[in-house]
Amino acid sequence: MEATAAMRQYCVASRMTIQVLLRSVRRMGLCALLLLSAYSGPSVAVEAGWDGPNNDPFGLQPKERNIARIKEIPIALPGEFVMDLHRASDFDKTNTYIADQLGKDDYDIALIPNSTLSVVKFPVPKGGWINFNDYLAILEQAPGVADAQPNFVRYTTVGQSPFSDPQASKQWFLQAINAERAWRINQDASSVVVAVIDDAIMVQHEDLQGNLWSNPGEIPGNRIDDDRNGYVDDINGWNFGANNNDPSPRGSGCIESGHGTHVAGAIGAVGGNGKGVTGVSPKVKIMALSAGRPDSKCGFDSAGILEAVRYAVDNGAKVINLSLGGPMGTRIAKQTYQYASDKNVLLVVAAGNDGLSNDVEDIPQGSEITLTALVRDNKVVHQALAPSYPAAFSRSIDGMLTVANMRADTQNSANLFLYRRDIPWDYVGVGVKVQGGKLVTKGFKKLSSGSWVVGSSYGARTVQIGTPGTDIFSTIPKPSGDGAASGYGMMTGTSMASPITAGAAALLWSSFPELSNVQIKQRLLASVKKNSDLSGKVGSAGQLDIYEALCGKQFSKRATGCDGNKPKSKPPQAAPPVSKPVPKPAPTPETKPKPAPEPKPKPKPTANDWLRGAEDPSEGSIEW
């Protein structure tokens, strides 16, 4: 695969100021190429239709699907790494060192704006593998590098449902979360910016346009980075996969993608405009951040997600919705999410759709993770991994809230249940370990009938709340000629439960702007409606109730109007000013430099040894 097919271009224009320039190099030409992308859907981790064309956008899954022969499963993009530098100013010496060690210059490297994160892509031979350990050793020993990891793939957390149902009355979830009663207290969350990080968001949609965030520091269409944040004309957000300012499916080259648009509508489709549907927050500001990559039908990986998180935090988002997940919780990723939490941003995350527990300790060196397989005629048709990240990070990141998917027996029913399918997992992997960018397993063993069932993921220590996410009616793009028209349809998954919760958080925060992100999370959890079906599965053992979060009598302070008093008339609050990017504090530099490696060195023990796995004596290294 040519490098240009897997990278996105950054061409430095002479009119751009030095504050705008990406500190990047493409050692193969004049334009800097930066691989920043994320994984899209419907994904490998879907609930039905596992043979769909978008299930493996990067083409990583092995051709061999016989359950008896599968020994390894790719989980990262070959040749691609994410590095965390001690300081952004270390970029040049890191790049020089890598070039000297390789003795050639056919790789790509770039620094993510306003951060210490950088992405490097090494050439991948025609066979699709590289010597993972040798490259990791070079990065670990490079001056200025604090940490390095593979560029792991990520998946949307949606199940496949048809987009054909035109009935907006099927927004049954609004009654289930007590939204209509809450709207009598507050409908206006226009002071709160909610960032949607997803495959693509149709900013041209008729039912989203009125609630889009607009960057106050940019002048539309002048092709100048007016606010000097590293992104030119980022009016409503940014497209990190295609490197342009159009975060819509059209801008990503994947009109058929509807996931992010559906998520955005569940949060904040415009209420009372006589069109389509309404979001949980009828008035809100949606920051559209696409990480879908044009060369993979809006597929995305961890690098693009992390850049989008930094952008959202540095440009004024208060809530970030992440309807995505995947295996491997790395230090670099956790530090990025912790950065958001420390900046008083609430991260709302989908738990996953695999019916597996996320309650596994952060993966230690050499430990096992859960791998399940659905088998038909001895062929694996679907597989799943647990725990899912970033969802499992909520155990230790105070400003993160992870959401399970609930269903109702009948629409508009007050009785909700944790979502499950009548599809049991058939096999579980044995001795599953991480080796390079792959999982390796000693084989699979048969599960007892019905012991693990496909459905919403859960975890009493890593999933905090249950929210409706089944048969959710919201906005979608409708293919029309070479573009897309405004449409509406159903989707199911924790991908839908998460934005409904994010919309509720925005509505709550607008009523109590003095509260912190952690206090908003705590108030949502303290006001849940207890549900026995969530006992032992979800930390709060309850389901979202936005009215109770506003007006619950257990709180010493309740929203204006909760006691039957007429709310005071006041003009709509303006959106808060966008905060300037805050550079990451530089840690104390090492006092003793690391020695340069010998030619083709054997990797020394490092904190990343758990990524390498056992060496293959026949090859001398692990091939990825």
pLDDT at residue 36, rounded to an integer: 20
158 vs 208, more confident: 208
Q: In which band, very low, low, confident or very high, does the pLDDT at 280 lie, cut at 50, 70 and 90? A: very high
The DSSP result for 533-559, as a single string, is GGTTTBTT-EE--HHHHHH-TTSSS--
pLDDT at residue 35, rounded to an integer: 20
Dist. CA 307–CA 473, nearest whole Å: 30
Q: Answer yes or no: is pLDDT of 34 > 90.
A: no
pLDDT at residue 11, rounded to an integer: 27
Q: What is the mean pLDDT of residues 185-203?
A: 96
The DSSP result for 493-525, as a single string, is SHHHHHHHHHHHHHHHHHH-TTS-HHHHHHHHH
Q: Answer yes or no: is pLDDT of 321 > 80.
A: yes
**Matching residue, tokens 């920051």:** 287
Phi then psi for residue 532, to 5 deg, are -65, -25
CATH of span 76-152: 3.30.70
553 vs 573, more confident: 553
Dist. CA 290–CA 107, nearest whole Å: 25
pLDDT at residue 57, rounded to an integer: 59
What is the C-alpha end-to-end distance of the chain, expressed in Å?
A: 15
pLDDT at residue 24, rounded to an integer: 34
Tell me the fold of 168-362+388-419+453-551: Rossmann fold (3.40.50)
- Predicted TM-score (pTM) of this structure: 0.79
Q: Answer yes or no: is pLDDT of 311 > 70.
A: yes
Q: In which band, very low, low, confident or very high, does the pLDDT at 611 lie, cut at 50, 70 and 90? A: low
The tokens for 28 are 């193969």
Q: Are 506 and 279 in contact (CB under 8 A)?
A: no
Q: What is the mean pLDDT of residues 116-130?
A: 76
Q: Are strands 529-530 and 542-543 parallel, antiparallel or unpaired?
A: antiparallel
Burial environment of residue 105 by CB neighbours within 10 A (0 to 12, 13 to 18, 19 or more): exposed
Q: What percent of the chain has pLDDT over 70?
A: 74
Q: Answer yes or no: is pLDDT of 174 > 70.
A: yes
Q: Are 284 and 158 in contact (CB under 8 A)?
A: no
Active-site residues, by number, are 198, 259, 495
Q: Answer yes or no: is pLDDT of 30 > 80.
A: no
436 vs 392, more confident: 392
Across 78-82, 210-214, 483-487, 595-599, least confident range = 595-599
Q: 302-314 and 331-342 are packed helices; what angle lies between their axes, rounded to 10 degrees?
A: 20
327 vs 420, more confident: 420
Strand ranges (DSSP E) for 351-471?
A: 370-376, 379-386, 400-408, 416-418, 420-424, 427-430, 433-435, 438-440, 443-446, 453-455, 465-468
Q: Answer yes or no: is pLDDT of 169 > 90.
A: no
Cis-peptide, bond into residue 387, ω within 30° of zero:
yes
Q: Are 403 and 543 in contact (CB under 8 A)?
A: no
51 vs 176, more confident: 176
Q: Answer yes or no: is pLDDT of 173 > 90.
A: yes
Across 27-31, 138-142, 147-151, 327-331, least confident range = 27-31
For 72-99, the pLDDT digits (tens) are 877 888 888 899 999 999 999 999 999 9
Distances (CA, A) of 135 to 115, 606, 623: 23, 14, 11
How is the chain split into domains, by residue range?
76-152, 168-362+388-419+453-551
**Matching residue, tokens 């620094």:** 111
Q: In which band, very low, low, confident or very high, does the pLDDT at 564 lie, cut at 50, 70 and 90? A: low
Mean pLDDT of the chain: 78
For 401-417, the pLDDT digits (tens) are 999 999 987 655 668 99
Across 102-116, 222-236, 585-599, least confident range = 585-599
Q: In which band, very low, low, confident or very high, does the pLDDT at 617 lie, cut at 50, 70 and 90? A: very low
- If DSSP codes are grouped into helix, strand and coil, which group holds residue 318? coil
Q: Answer yes or no: is pLDDT of 218 > 70.
A: yes
Q: Answer yes or no: is pLDDT of 571 > 70.
A: no
